[in-house]
Amino acid sequence: MTLTDADLKTLYQLLVSVRQLDKAAVAWQRQGIFPTYAPALGQEAAQVGSAYVLDRTRDFAFPTYREIGVARALGVNMAEYLATHKALWHGGLYDPVTSRLAPIQAVVAGSVLHAVGWALGAKLDAADTTDLPVAMTYFGDGASSQGDVHEAMNFAGVMQVPVVFFVQNNCWAISLPTHEQVAGNDIAARAHGYGMPALRIDGNDVTAVIDACSRAVAHARAGRGPVLVEALTYRRGPHSTSDDPGRYRSLEQERADAGDDPIEMLRRALEAGGDIAEAFFTDVQTNAEQEQDEVFGQLAAMTTRPGREMFDYVFQQPTAVLRAQQAHWQSETEYDA
């Protein structure tokens, strides 16, 4: 994918928007608006860049609980996305089909299995197996040790399904550094055992992420099977708002190990590329803050969802047991269906 000056400016706008919303979400949690939140500070380039290459008309992204940058890059309504963190609805209030973003997945590595299943279905349905829809699935270095990931990669390799396994190696599996929980400290090296190519890249460089993911998507789209992309980045804050990173790393260590800031990297590239006014960067920040306020207004207006919805969306055809559970719940809560 060849990036134009307009692309680079759009990417910068996306990175700043994501960081502003991410910082706001942490503040909203501290104010009691969100029960909890998993920050993405430092991982903006990995998320935005990987999603930027997807074809929104046919590809599908499968996130974890930290992919605010993926959602923003795909054009998802961010208030509907953040409704999950407000505990209004598990998985988000946005429409996964039209947005091409699967529901937010809180189960560690759970989205990886879903992506492989979707990709296999897409391959089986395709009239042309050399021009396939592609699934992009997200997980972290900690999740890479889950059995689900290995089962999914093995199945994808055997069945040659069009899926890109995108792992954000942010150096910390909650409180455990990657080298203490990944043998060899190299997740990309595992791909060979499942018969797929792998790319190991600087996840803080959005242009490097786009280059790698473009090649990975092209490989999968052509019917040549799955690809693993390991984006080396850094989690610059806590694992979640209930985590205290000061218990397992110092602030000095965090600053020393974090590497280049993704936003500053792209800004330097824009400035080196030619004549760009300071007003551009000022306007981008102002617009991001305005977007934050708009999202907050939408979130504030959202009310609790009807309780019956926890039964309505379990099965396409509800079972007798589910109906019995709903009836029991209604009788105990005096809820009028």
**Quick one: average pLDDT of 190-210?**
97
pLDDT at residue 199 greater than cutoff 90: yes
Q: Are the beta carbons of 225 and 157 closer than 8 angstroms?
A: yes
What pLDDT, in 10s, does the model give residues 306-315?
A: 888 888 888 9
Q: How far apart are alpha carbons 88 and 80 in whole angstroms? A: 10
Could you tell me the CA-to-CA distances from 4 to 10, 11, 186, 203 in Å, in that order? 10, 11, 33, 20
Domains and CATH numbers, the chain: 5-305 (3.40.50.970), 306-337 (no CATH)
Q: Is 256 exposed, middle or buried (0-12, 13-18, 19+ CB in 10 A)?
A: exposed
Could you tell me the CA-to-CA distances from 59 to 51, 52, 63, 94 in Å, in that order? 10, 11, 13, 17
Q: Which of 85, 190, 200, 235 is catalytic?
A: 235
* 150 noted as active-site residue: no
What pLDDT, in 10s, does the model give residues 65-77?
A: 999 999 999 999 9
Q: Which of 248, 249, 305, 308 is catalytic?
A: 248
Q: Which of 213, 214, 218 is nearest to 229 (CA)?
A: 213
Q: How far apart are alpha carbons 122 and 8 in whole angstroms? A: 31
The pTM assigned to this predicted structure is: 0.93
Residue 89 confidence class, pLDDT cut points 50, 70, 90: confident
Q: How far apart are alpha carbons 196 and 219 in whole angstroms? A: 10
* 248 noted as active-site residue: yes
pLDDT at residue 337 greater than cutoff 70: no
Q: Are the beta carbons of 70 and 14 closer than 8 angstroms?
A: no
In 9-82, DSSP assigns E strands to: 60-62
What pLDDT, in 10s, does the model give residues 205-232?
A: 999 999 999 999 999 999 999 999 999 9
Q: Which of 200, 221, 239, 267 is catalytic?
A: 239
* 194 noted as active-site residue: no
